[in-house]
Amino acid sequence: ASGQGKTAGRGTKGQNSRTGNKLRTMFQGGQRPLAQAVPKARGFKTIKRPAQVVYLDRLNDFAGKMVDNNLLFEEGYIATPFHAVKVITRGEISVKVDLKVQAASKSAVEAIQKAGGTFEKVATPIKQSQKDAEQAAK
Protein backbone atom coordinates (compact mmCIF):
# COMPACT_ATOMS: atom_id res chain seq x y z
CA ALA A 1 0.00 0.00 0.00
CA SER A 2 1.40 3.35 -1.01
CA GLY A 3 -0.70 5.42 1.35
CA GLN A 4 -2.06 7.46 -1.59
CA GLY A 5 -5.69 6.33 -1.47
CA LYS A 6 -8.90 8.39 -1.96
CA THR A 7 -7.62 11.82 -3.07
CA ALA A 8 -4.15 10.52 -4.06
CA GLY A 9 -2.33 13.23 -2.13
CA ARG A 10 -4.00 16.07 -4.07
CA GLY A 11 -6.19 17.40 -1.27
CA THR A 12 -9.98 17.51 -1.42
CA LYS A 13 -11.06 20.24 -3.81
CA GLY A 14 -9.58 23.05 -5.85
CA GLN A 15 -7.75 23.64 -9.09
CA ASN A 16 -4.78 21.43 -8.24
CA SER A 17 -6.99 18.47 -7.34
CA ARG A 18 -8.50 18.34 -10.85
CA THR A 19 -7.16 16.43 -13.82
CA GLY A 20 -6.27 18.09 -17.08
CA ASN A 21 -4.21 21.19 -17.80
CA LYS A 22 -2.03 22.63 -15.08
CA LEU A 23 -0.96 26.23 -14.50
CA ARG A 24 1.99 27.22 -16.64
CA THR A 25 5.29 27.54 -14.84
CA MET A 26 5.56 31.33 -14.63
CA PHE A 27 1.84 32.02 -14.01
CA GLN A 28 1.43 34.55 -11.19
CA GLY A 29 -2.29 34.25 -10.54
CA GLY A 30 -3.43 36.90 -13.03
CA GLN A 31 -0.90 39.49 -11.84
CA ARG A 32 1.11 41.27 -14.56
CA PRO A 33 3.93 38.80 -15.35
CA LEU A 34 7.42 39.91 -14.40
CA ALA A 35 8.73 39.33 -17.93
CA GLN A 36 6.16 41.82 -19.25
CA ALA A 37 6.50 44.28 -16.36
CA VAL A 38 10.24 44.83 -16.87
CA PRO A 39 11.22 47.20 -19.71
CA LYS A 40 12.86 45.64 -22.76
CA ALA A 41 16.63 45.80 -22.78
CA ARG A 42 17.65 47.83 -25.82
CA GLY A 43 20.75 47.49 -27.90
CA PHE A 44 23.06 44.59 -28.58
CA LYS A 45 25.81 43.05 -26.51
CA THR A 46 28.38 41.29 -28.64
CA ILE A 47 29.67 37.93 -27.48
CA LYS A 48 32.91 38.39 -29.42
CA ARG A 49 35.87 38.92 -27.11
CA PRO A 50 38.13 41.86 -27.92
CA ALA A 51 41.67 40.99 -28.95
CA GLN A 52 44.42 41.06 -26.33
CA VAL A 53 46.74 43.95 -27.11
CA VAL A 54 50.52 43.70 -27.18
CA TYR A 55 52.51 46.86 -27.90
CA LEU A 56 55.28 46.85 -30.48
CA ASP A 57 58.02 48.05 -28.11
CA ARG A 58 57.40 45.01 -25.86
CA LEU A 59 58.63 42.74 -28.68
CA ASN A 60 62.19 44.03 -28.13
CA ASP A 61 62.39 41.48 -25.27
CA PHE A 62 62.16 38.61 -27.79
CA ALA A 63 65.24 39.29 -29.94
CA GLY A 64 65.67 36.63 -32.63
CA LYS A 65 62.80 34.48 -31.34
CA MET A 66 59.63 33.19 -32.93
CA VAL A 67 56.84 34.95 -31.00
CA ASP A 68 53.41 33.31 -30.75
CA ASN A 69 50.48 33.21 -28.31
CA ASN A 70 52.10 30.59 -26.07
CA LEU A 71 55.38 32.50 -25.69
CA LEU A 72 53.55 35.76 -24.95
CA PHE A 73 51.45 33.93 -22.32
CA GLU A 74 54.45 32.25 -20.69
CA GLU A 75 56.25 35.59 -20.43
CA GLY A 76 53.14 37.24 -18.90
CA TYR A 77 52.28 39.64 -21.73
CA ILE A 78 48.76 38.24 -22.27
CA ALA A 79 46.15 36.68 -19.97
CA THR A 80 45.41 33.56 -22.04
CA PRO A 81 46.85 32.01 -25.20
CA PHE A 82 43.38 30.96 -26.40
CA HIS A 83 42.05 34.41 -27.36
CA ALA A 84 43.10 36.58 -30.29
CA VAL A 85 46.23 38.72 -29.94
CA LYS A 86 46.82 41.97 -31.82
CA VAL A 87 50.13 43.81 -31.97
CA ILE A 88 49.76 47.57 -32.26
CA THR A 89 52.31 50.31 -32.72
CA ARG A 90 53.65 52.04 -29.64
CA GLY A 91 57.32 52.85 -29.43
CA GLU A 92 59.99 51.37 -31.69
CA ILE A 93 61.21 47.88 -32.45
CA SER A 94 64.93 47.46 -32.97
CA VAL A 95 65.35 43.67 -33.01
CA LYS A 96 64.42 40.93 -35.47
CA VAL A 97 61.40 38.87 -34.41
CA ASP A 98 59.27 36.33 -36.27
CA LEU A 99 55.71 37.10 -35.19
CA LYS A 100 52.90 34.52 -35.50
CA VAL A 101 49.72 35.97 -34.01
CA GLN A 102 46.14 36.68 -35.09
CA ALA A 103 46.47 40.36 -36.04
CA ALA A 104 48.76 43.35 -36.20
CA SER A 105 48.27 46.94 -37.25
CA LYS A 106 49.58 47.96 -40.66
CA SER A 107 52.25 50.21 -39.15
CA ALA A 108 53.32 47.45 -36.73
CA VAL A 109 53.83 44.97 -39.59
CA GLU A 110 55.87 47.56 -41.51
CA ALA A 111 58.04 48.25 -38.45
CA ILE A 112 58.65 44.52 -37.85
CA GLN A 113 59.64 43.99 -41.49
CA LYS A 114 61.86 47.08 -41.42
CA ALA A 115 63.69 45.58 -38.41
CA GLY A 116 64.28 42.38 -40.43
CA GLY A 117 61.51 40.28 -38.90
CA THR A 118 58.42 38.63 -40.35
CA PHE A 119 54.71 38.64 -39.55
CA GLU A 120 52.43 35.68 -40.18
CA LYS A 121 48.71 35.71 -39.46
CA VAL A 122 47.62 32.46 -37.78
CA ALA A 123 44.36 31.10 -36.37
CA THR A 124 43.57 31.44 -32.68
CA PRO A 125 44.75 28.30 -30.81
CA ILE A 126 41.93 26.09 -29.57
CA LYS A 127 42.09 24.82 -26.00
CA GLN A 128 42.48 21.05 -25.92
CA SER A 129 39.94 19.17 -23.82
CA GLN A 130 41.15 17.06 -20.89
CA LYS A 131 40.06 13.90 -22.72
CA ASP A 132 41.98 14.81 -25.90
CA ALA A 133 45.06 15.76 -23.88
CA GLU A 134 45.07 12.36 -22.14
CA GLN A 135 44.74 10.54 -25.48
CA ALA A 136 47.58 12.58 -26.99
CA ALA A 137 49.80 11.73 -24.00
CA LYS A 138 49.36 7.97 -24.58
Q: Are 88 and 104 in contact (CB under 8 A)?
A: yes
Q: Is the pLDDT of residue 2 over 80?
A: no
Task: Please give the model's pTM, rounded to 2 decimal places.
Answer: 0.64
Give Cα 74 distance to the centre of its chain: 20
Q: Is the pLDDT of residue 138 over 90?
A: no
Domains of the chain in sequence order: 52-121 (3.100.10.10)
Of the pLDDT bands very low, low, confident and very high (cuts 50, 70, 90), residue 21 is confident
Percent of the chain at pLDDT exceeding 70: 99
Per-residue exposure over 115-132, b if at least 16 CB sit within 10 Å of its own CB, e if not:
bebebeeeebbeeeeeee
Mean pLDDT, residues 115-120: 95
